[in-house]
Each structure stands twice: as structure tokens, then as C-alpha cells.
């Protein structure tokens, strides 16, 4: 992967927005087949420009207007907001209180920095292959619940471009949900609770909800390799003490503690901890296991959601196909069929795809390709010539499913109206 030089970003963005950004698919998504008049026109876009100049309440008449403005402004970052009661770019002309957010996709933002208390390999904005498994587990756990527990069909997962993932739930009924309902959904999906000062952030009772059991089943597939081998969560006394602090008082007597310390790997120590919890469970009236084991697994591996991003209809979220200005990586859709294979370090950077395009353009010029033909091809196929192509294909498949669902719903309504 080519190294990214932030100093090149202004010129690279010009080329990216002129020849590589998938405008047609992007407009097709946010227009939703023209379900409601002015749906796209009432959508808020926010642009962050060079030197952190931030412009909110942008809105556009159509795909052409959006293209022209993006190519003129060359935003460093694009955020998508709600569909409002009036055009966002006219919000200052609307009577106070009349300008209201009406609809928006249900969105989730999962950021690796929220796991800093439980990952040992990196901190802050840094990520590596050892901790990226947290995002893999998060996608699997949240997506399963959205699909099976709530019945949501149209879920678009996107890499943020640096250290996290976003999810856009786009079903028509979901876009109309109130803030209260959104809060309820994200509350259902949240198990890790408490700030930095709270040691024990997961509390289970004897009656384990099916959502928790299914989440544990997913974590189980990754836990040994991720937590015990790669993160080595019981690798030294300090990390052992952190985990023992999650256990009920006196669950490990001094003998048990010494024996625990005498094991020489996280794998051995974890097995011993499970045995101790199980033996105490057999002799105590209080039930310790497997709840203790599960509470630790959940605290170290369960998704950590930003509740404010999900519950607020007017909350902005970074757009798919944005460029991250620090890494240069594109915010690409993630193929749910290949979540385990997704590697953030192989995601194309704006440098790499622009250089790929330059090399192709040079070859075409050398072949003496007709200039008029070349311009037409550039408009429709340039991204297909670069490593961005497979990610746009994932996006197109998502749009196809949206279209099929919409047509099916129209047919169903049509049949109902004829049913006398």
C-alpha cells in the first residue's frame, strides 16, 4: 500500500471528486427511488474544508448540483444529516421552530478508542490487526441483532477510514423512527455501561436474555485467539488484577489466587479461572458461573456504541466514500459475507487510486484513444479501473436489494388496493 502524504490531499481530492467518486450510486441511495417529493432536496450535507472550515446545512436539487458543488469545494470530509421539513440551505429563512429534522437512517458509530481500557496492543487513534477483531465481533453481534431481533433488512456497514465502523439501517420504516424508539433500540444493544471510574461494566443476572447468549456464542468463536493469545489479557500481574477486580469479593481465596498466578499463560490462567468459578458455583447459594466468565468476555469484547449518534435524528455521520484526511483511506462499504477477511490496512487510499488512474490515463493516451470517447468513459467507469471497484460493487448490491424491496412493497400495496 502506498504511503499517504497529507500535503498532496488538495490535488488528490480534485481528481477524486472529478473522476472517481461514485455519484450515480450515491444519489440513487439517498434519493430512495423518489419515495417522497423533495426527499433528496431536503437532506442535509455538511462539508469540512481545508483548515477545518466547517459548513453545515448544505442541500442540493439533484445529482448534478451535488457533483458540481463537491468538485468546486473539494471537501476534506463529508457528513450526512437528516431529511428536514425545509431545504437545509434555506433554514435561516424559515420561521423559528419550523425547521425540523423529520427522517434519517438509524445509524451506529463504533470507535476503537472506546475500547482503550481493554485493549493492550494500541491506544487512542492507533489500530493494528490484533485489535481490529473487536470491530469484526462488533459487526457480527450488532448486525445479527438488527437482522434477527428487529427484522431490519437494509444494513450498510462502512469502514470509517481510520479506527472504526459505521452502520446505516435504511429500511423505510426505520427512517421514520422517533428519537425515543432509536434510544430504545440502542439501549437494547448496549451491555457495557459505565465510565472510566467504573471497574465492572457488565452485570448479568441468572435470567440471561437470548440476545446475550447469542452475543456470547459469537464472541466464543474469537475469544481464545483474540483475547488470550493476541491481547494476552492475563499476561502479567497488572492485567490479572484488572480481571480479578471484576469477580465478586472473595470469589478467589488466597490459595486460588496463588495457584492462578502460578499458571504461565493467559490460556492456562483463563481455564483455571473458569474452574474456580464453576467449583464455587456448585457450593455457594449465589450463582457465579458461567456468569462471571461471560461478564468478563462481554466487558472485553462486546460492542461499545455511541448512544448519542444513534438516538439523535439530526446527528451527522461521516458519509460513505469520504476520504479520511489523516490516513488518506476511503470510507468503503464492508461486504457482510466477508467480514472476517476485511482488512483496514488494505483499504485503498486516495493516493493509491489516483496514481492507479494516472497510470491508466497515460496508457490510454499512448494508445491514442479518441478524446471524446475517453471523456465519456471517465464519467462512467473510472472507479472501475482502480482498487475502489470491488467496494463500489458491494454498495451497488446493497442498492439492488433496496430497489427490489421497494418494488415488492409497491406491488403489495397495489394488490391490497385491488383486494375487494
The residue among 277, 301, 325 that closes a domain is 301
Answer yes or no: is pLDDT of 330 > 50.
yes
Question: Do residue 80 and residue 160 come from a single domain?
Answer: yes
- Please say whether the beta carbons of 219 and 137 come within 8 A: yes
Mean pLDDT of the chain: 89
Question: Do residue 171 and residue 198 come from a single domain?
Answer: no
Query: Does 174 reside within a domain?
Result: yes
Query: Does 127 reside within a domain?
Result: no
C-alpha cell at 133: 477483531
Average pLDDT over residues 118-126: 93
Question: Do residue 57 and residue 173 come from a single domain?
Answer: yes
Question: Do residue 296 and residue 311 come from a single domain?
Answer: no
Q: Which of residues 398 and 274 earns the better pLDDT score?
A: 398
Answer yes or no: is pLDDT of 261 > 60.
yes
CATH number of the domain that residue 49 is part of: 3.90.920.10
133-190 residue pLDDT tens: 999 999 999 999 999 999 999 999 999 999 999 999 999 999 999 999 999 999 999 9
| Model confidence band, residue 283 (pLDDT cutoffs 50, 70, 90) | low
Q: Which of residues 196 and 297 earns the better pLDDT score?
A: 297
203-229 residue pLDDT tens: 998 889 999 999 999 999 999 999 999
Which residues form the catalytic set?
44, 109, 111
C-alpha cell at 128: 493494528
Angle between helices 237-244 and 254-262 (to 10 degrees): 140
Alpha carbon distances (Å) from 175 to 146, 183, 290: 14, 14, 39
C-alpha cell at 74: 473539494
> Cα(121)–Cα(123) distance, rounded to whole angstroms?
7
> Cα(113)–Cα(160) distance, rounded to whole angstroms?
13
> Cα(306)–Cα(186) distance, rounded to whole angstroms?
9
C-alpha cell at 46: 455538511
- Please say whether the beta carbons of 60 and 45 come within 8 A: yes
> Cα(338)–Cα(393) distance, rounded to whole angstroms?
13
Q: What is the pTM of this model?
A: 0.91
- Please say whether the beta carbons of 381 and 48 come within 8 A: no
Q: Above pLDDT 90, what percent of the chain?
A: 73
> Cα(138)–Cα(271) distance, rounded to whole angstroms?
25
Residue 152, pLDDT score: 98
Judged by average pLDDT, the poorest of 78-82, 88-92, 373-377, 412-416 is 373-377
Average pLDDT over residues 84-95: 95
Average pLDDT over residues 354-366: 75
Q: CA torsion 53→59→64→65, rounded to 10°?
A: -60
Question: Do residue 175 and residue 318 come from a single domain?
Answer: yes
How many domains does the chain fold into? 2
Residue 162, pLDDT score: 95
The residue among 274, 301, 328 that closes a domain is 301
Answer yes or no: is pLDDT of 417 > 70.
no
Strands 317-318 and 77-84: antiparallel
Question: Do residue 213 and residue 281 come from a single domain?
Answer: yes
Answer yes or no: is pLDDT of 378 > 60.
no
Q: Above pLDDT 70, what percent of the chain?
A: 87
> Cα(334)–Cα(81) distance, rounded to whole angstroms?
21
Report whether the peptide linkage leading into residue 290 is cis, meaning its omega lies within 30 degrees of zero.
Answer: yes
Enclosing domain of residue 89:
6-109+153-179+305-417
Query: Does 137 reside within a domain?
Result: no
Angle between helices 389-418 and 23-31 (to 10 degrees): 30
Query: Does 246 reside within a domain?
Result: yes
Answer yes or no: is pLDDT of 420 > 50.
no
> Cα(190)–Cα(304) distance, rounded to whole angstroms?
7
Question: Do residue 264 and residue 323 come from a single domain?
Answer: no
Residue 362, pLDDT score: 63
Residue 241, pLDDT score: 85
Residue 285, pLDDT score: 45
The residue among 240, 274, 301 that closes a domain is 301
Contacts of 64 (CB under 8 A, 6+ apart): none
Q: Does residue 81 sit in helix, strand or coil? A: strand
Distance of CA 126 to the CA centre of its chain: 17
> Cα(349)–Cα(235) distance, rounded to whole angstroms?
36
Answer yes or no: is pLDDT of 108 > 90.
yes
Query: Does 136 reside within a domain?
Result: no
Query: Does 142 reside within a domain?
Result: no
Question: Do residue 55 and residue 90 come from a single domain?
Answer: yes
Amino acid at each position: 500500500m502506498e504511503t499517504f502524504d497529507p500535503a498532496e490531499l488538495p490535488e488528490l481530492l480534485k481528481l477524486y471528486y472529478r473522476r472517481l467518486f461514485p455519484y450515480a450510486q450515491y444519489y440513487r441511495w439517498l434519493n430512495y427511488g423518489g419515495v417522497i417529493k423533495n426527499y433528496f432536496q431536503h437532506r442535509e450535507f455538511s462539508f469540512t474544508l481545508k483548515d477545518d472550515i466547517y459548513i453545515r446545512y448544505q442541500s442540493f436539487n439533484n445529482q448534478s448540483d451535488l457533483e458540481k458543488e463537491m468538485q468546486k469545494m473539494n471537501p476534506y470530509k463529508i457528513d450526512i444529516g437528516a431529511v428536514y421539513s425545509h431545504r437545509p440551505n434555506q433554514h435561516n429563512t424559515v420561521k423559528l421552530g419550523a425547521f425540523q429534522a423529520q427522517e434519517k437512517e438509524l445509524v451506529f458509530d463504533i470507535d476503537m478508542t472506546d475500547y482503550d481500557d481493554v485493549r493492550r496492543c494500541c491506544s487512542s487513534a492507533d489500530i493494528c490487526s490484533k485489535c481490529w477483531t473487536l470491530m469484526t465481533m462488533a459487526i457480527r453481534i450488532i448486525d445479527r441483532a438488527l437482522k434477527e431481533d428487529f427484522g431490519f433488512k437494509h444494513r450498510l456497514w462502512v469502514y470509517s477510514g481510520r479506527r472504526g465502523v459505521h452502520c446505516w439501517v435504511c429500511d423505510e420504516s426505520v427512517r421514520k423512527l422517533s428519537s425515543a424508539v432509536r434510544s430504545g433500540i440502542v439501549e437494547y444493544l448496549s451491555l457495557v455501561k459505565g465510565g472510566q471510574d467504573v471497574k465492572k461494566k457488565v452485570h448479568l443476572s441468572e435470567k440471561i436474555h437470548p440476545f446475550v447468549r447469542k452475543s456470547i456464542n459469537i464472541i466464543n468463536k474469537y475469544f481464545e485467539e483474540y483475547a488470550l493469545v493476541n491481547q494476552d489479557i492475563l499476561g502479567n500481574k497488572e492485567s490479572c488484577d484488572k480481571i480479578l477486580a471484576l469477580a465478586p469479593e472473595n470469589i478467589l481465596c488466597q490459595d486460588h489466587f496463588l495457584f492462578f498466578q502460578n499458571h504461565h499463560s493467559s490460556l492456562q490462567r483463563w481455564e483455571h479461572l473458569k474452574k474456580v468459578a464453576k467449583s464455587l458455583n456448585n457450593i455457594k447459594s449465589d450463582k457465579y458461573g458461567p456468569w462471571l466468565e461471560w461478564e468478563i468476555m462481554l466487558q472485553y469484547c462486546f460492542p461499545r456504541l455511541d448512544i448519542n449518534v444513534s438516538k439523535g435524528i439530526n446527528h451527522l455521520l461521516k458519509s460513505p466514500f469520504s476520504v479520511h484526511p489523516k490516513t488518506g483511506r476511503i470510507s468503503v462499504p464492508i461486504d457482510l459475507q466477508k467480514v472476517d477477511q476485511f482488512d483496514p490496512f488494505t483499504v485503498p487510499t486516495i493516493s493509491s487510486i489516483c496514481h492507479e488512474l494516472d497510470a491508466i490515463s497515460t496508457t490510454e493516451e499512448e494508445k491514442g484513444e479518441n478524446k471524446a470517447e475517453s471523456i465519456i468513459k471517465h464519467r462512467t467507469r473510472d472507479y472501475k479501473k482502480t482498487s475502489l471497484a470491488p467496494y463500489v460493487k458491494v454498495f451497488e448490491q446493497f442498492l439492488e436489494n433496496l430497489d427490489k424491496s421497494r418494488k415488492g412493497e409497491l406491488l403489495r400495496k397495489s394488490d391490497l388496493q385491488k383486494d375487494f
